[in-house]
Chain A
């Protein structure tokens, strides 16, 4: 049979490119560990990573260990997880909503999570409750959007998107009210900073809590990549090719929402990553679901890690990462649109 040699060469090249990306991520991680105000050499860092500490070590060494393992590493891990998670959510949403402009925030998860966390900050609740409130706020927003869609008889994708927009707008308005009544000395700056997204306060437990939902949901999306890809053709065609459209769509929304809500409650609102990275991945790696999913996750991780490195080294005062992703993401996206082929969209 004509087992096209061109295709397998193509596939080999694709796999090689993915391996290169993975290697790039590892290198960037090591590099990121060396960045920071507290001076630590690469040698020391490698030492800290590989050998366990002892109680009798000098204060200076103990501090270096603290900085690497408790300040920098959790932050880097969070950036990798969040970058990958948001990108995968964005890819999933763009596929199931058949809309290249979709982002993880489409159904209101970011606005809902931001609202939940803002209220918790307003009430001066401890960090754990702020994160919990954010998480459930995000889930609540999406649930409301889905319920509203169910209540309408149309039950089409368009009404779902519209419900999401309405829910987003509603929660944004509520956030404005929270900001208005918040005490301008302590609470309001905290809320504002939180809304702009930041990885500055990520602790070890944050990173661990984050890894659960993102790894599990990411894996779920990867394993179902072919069926999810089918949804891009439309409900009727996907159904006739064997997909239980409603169930799969719900499942994808569930996983993507869980991932997005988890990222928002740890790091605040970080935009543009979920929108931009899937486009880059599609343009560079094509539509083959396996390569597309893996490359999306890797590109997302690399992107956010690089941006976070920039956020904490660009000036004395740390720049909120949500601001940087927008500042970098928007022109990047414009450039990409200008240079991409016309045939990319239907």
Chain B
């Protein structure tokens, strides 16, 4: 059974508006990573939100490990799929340990509070991600990169087999980007399935993962990154002339840069 099976998914915000997502279908195996590429407004984030059950789908089905998400309660969903948002706004200053611990709520019944086991699990997650030294700092006082790491630690603490990350490296410098990508690769190696939306095709090359191209709410191509991403396909995707830059230790990395007219 596949970890994720999306079939014929369609969604629009308003009955009158044009569809934001049209007939999207994709599969993901356990331990696989898929990077969703596309221009702004292509519907990448919407797809992520639909996958998480945060937006009601118009048509089509979404299955997690064979179960239709429509049949699952919020608590059951939380145990199957975790979310790392692009950023988080909190009106109140939680400390890092508290933030990460909150991920355990998926496993705590309605009126309970975190047990010793939950606290230990959260601590392990913080260590794994490397944010243990930050545990007493206030989340609001951290840098962008540190915050993203904490959110990943929280998703880890949630202990769900699938993790959805919405542009996890947006607004991060190259060093932090590397840290995050490394973490994604390690998570996949432990058997988690990862759905990642991103602007940057080179990240897909770096992770050597499956790629799906989205444009105007439709999936135009899906497959291994080496097959799907070429200068032509990328230029078509972004609607602008792009140059491919190949490099890396064995020429296996390709980045793309816009060609100025």
Contacts and interface: CB of A to CB of B under 8 A. Distances in A.
Nearest to B97: A7
Contacts of A99: 91
B90 A240 contact: no
A interface bracket (residues with beta carbon within 8 Å of B): 35 or more
Q: Most B CB atoms within 10 A — which of A100, A226, A288?
A: A226
Interface stretch (B4-12, B24-32, B70-78, B189-197): B70-78
Contacts of B53: 239
Contacts, number: 110
B103 A346 contact: no
Interface in B96-138: 97-98, 102-103, 105-106, 108, 110-114, 119-120, 123-124, 127, 132, 135-136, 138
A38 interface: no
A226 B108 contact: yes
A346 B120 contact: no
Given A227-B110, A229-B102, A230-B102, A240 B91 contact: no
B88 A233 contact: yes
Nearest to B151: A237
Contacts of B112: 226
A282 B92 contact: yes
A240 B166 CA distance: 13
A241 B108 CA distance: 11
Q: Most A CB atoms within 10 A — which of B73, B91, B136?
A: B91
B54 A287 contact: no
Contact of A287 (B49, B52, B98, B132): B98
B239 to A, nearest CB: 29
A240 B74 CA distance: 7
Q: Most B CB atoms within 10 A — which of A6, A229, A282?
A: A229
Contacts of B135: 4
Nearest to A345: B91
A233 B150 CA distance: 14
Interface stretch (B59-67, B79-87, B218-226, B228-236): B79-87
B74 A98 contact: no
A224 interface: yes
Interface string A1-32: 11110110000000000000000000000000
A233 B102 contact: yes
A225 B110 CA distance: 10
A287 B73 CA distance: 28
Interface in A205-260: 223-227, 229-230, 232-234, 236-237, 239-245
Contacts of B103: 241
A6 B52 CA distance: 37
A290 interface: yes
B256 interface: no
Given A282-B92, A290-B113, A237 B105 contact: no
Given A4-B123, A223-B111, A240 B81 contact: yes
Contacts of B89: 234, 346
B79 A1 contact: no
Contacts of A3: 119-120, 123
A2 B121 CA distance: 11
A134 interface: no
A236 B91 contact: no
B141 interface: yes
A344 B138 CA distance: 9
A287 B92 contact: yes
A282 B95 CA distance: 12
Given A226-B113, A227-B105, A343-B140, A242 B91 contact: no
Contacts of A236: 49, 52, 54, 83, 85
B74 A244 contact: yes
Interface in B181-231: none
A84 interface: no
A232 B105 contact: no
A184 B127 CA distance: 70
Given A1-B124, A4-B123, A224-B111, A242 B88 contact: no
Contacts of B238: none
A242 B75 contact: yes
Given A1-B123, A4-B123, A224-B110, A239 B95 contact: no
Interface string A27-68: 000000000000000000000000000000000000000000
Given A7-B97, A237-B83, A242 B54 contact: no
B88 A237 contact: yes
B93 interface: yes
Interface in A92-146: 94-95, 98-100
B24 to A, nearest CB: 20
A241 B105 contact: yes
A45 B93 CA distance: 45
Q: Most B CB atoms within 10 A — which of A100, A225, A242?
A: A242
B158 interface: yes
28 contacts: A3-B120, A230-B102, A232-B90, A232-B92, A233-B88, A233-B90, A234-B90, A237-B83, A239-B53, A239-B74, A240-B81, A240-B83, A241-B78, A241-B105, A241-B106, A244-B73, A244-B74, A282-B92, A287-B94, A287-B98, A290-B113, A343-B138, A343-B141, A344-B92, A345-B140, A346-B89, A346-B90, A346-B92
* Pairs A-B, 8 closest by C-beta atoms: A242-B78, A240-B83, A242-B106, A223-B111, A242-B75, A98-B91, A244-B74, A343-B141
Given A226-B108, A286-B95, 11 more contacts: A2-B127, A2-B132, A226-B102, A226-B113, A226-B114, A237-B88, A241-B78, A241-B105, A242-B77, A245-B74, A346-B140
